[in-house]
Amino acid sequence: MIWIAATLIAAAAQTFRNAAQSGLTRQIGTIGATSVRFVFGVPFALLALGLAALAFDIPRPGGTTLAWAALGAGAQIAATVFMLITMRGQSFGIATALMKTEPVTLAIIGAIVLAEPLGPARMGAIVLATAGVVLASGARWSRASARPVLTGIAAGALFGLSSIGFRGAILSLPDGGYVIRALTTLAITLGLQSAAMLAWMAIMDRPALRGIVGEWRVSLAAGALGAFASLFWFIGFALTAAANVRTLALIEVPLAQILSGRVFRETIGRAQLLGICMIVLGVGWLLAAA
């Protein structure tokens, strides 16, 4: 069950990366802060792949691998755009809850595109954990308007599609163990995303491009953490269905709620407590069924 450990490591590293990126948004804007995880993550991915090449043969990606990687890279960028639109139009709680619908759409897309088995036990666990996130978010849904809800669901679906693209790229590589295939896919994906973001900033947003250069120290830390987190996400995708990985990652929600209660003395309502219990039960059910 290596994928479980990989997923938990990825979720923890992603939390630290988000913290590093959060301050950059105020200083260099949304586009600049978003591009940091890609542009400054590439050197670390290439360095790791180069070191791995000393001990393992690097699998040669073909057209199929590049197509899957491009799908994942493009979907992830588009999902980020929809996520930002949702956060501008709704509260953070509603936006977060909508993003976390990803495992449901991911399971359905995976069953259709990659022919991954979707039995009643797996689907039930995924739905239970996702519904728990909606309750645990504490969002006031009576204030939600239609357009941000749709963009939020679209963001979750696109994040799910990106995970399918990454898993498809990993599985399409002709040979190699799960670590070297994950590293190879990571380097390809970050390369594609960096090229796209740099081209966009060079043409449409020069201040953001100057900003990430000026804030290179913080950007480098965020890029390193982003590449580290992505590597372990990809290791998880190499070993099991992407829906399993993203559902297990929901365990970070109750952990964050517990942390906020202990550290920041924030109260947790009954609905949120019920949501946390649903997440824990859903994740446990998923692990039993996997």
Which residues lie below 8 Å from residue 176, measured CB to CB, with a gap of 6+? 56, 57, 58, 59, 184
Question: What predicted TM-score, i.e. pTM, was given to this entire model?
Answer: 0.82
pLDDT of residue 194: 95
> Cα 30 to the chain's mean position, in Å?
17
The per-residue pLDDT string of the chain (290 residues; one tens digit each, 9 = 90 and over) reads 899 999 999 988 877 776 666 667 778 877 888 888 899 999 999 999 999 999 889 999 999 999 999 999 999 888 877 876 776 655 555 666 666 777 777 788 788 887 777 788 888 888 888 788 777 766 555 555 666 677 777 888 888 899 999 999 999 998 889 999 999 999 999 999 999 999 999 999 899 899 888 888 888 988 898 899 999 999 999 999 888 898 888 777 666 555 555 444 545 567 777 877 888 788 788 777 76
Phi, psi of 14 (to 5 degrees): -65, -35
Using left for φ > 0, alpha for ψ between -120 and 50, and beta otherwise, residue 119 falls in: beta
User: For residue 140, what are the CA distances in angstroms to 6, 59, 92, 161?
Assistant: 34, 49, 11, 28
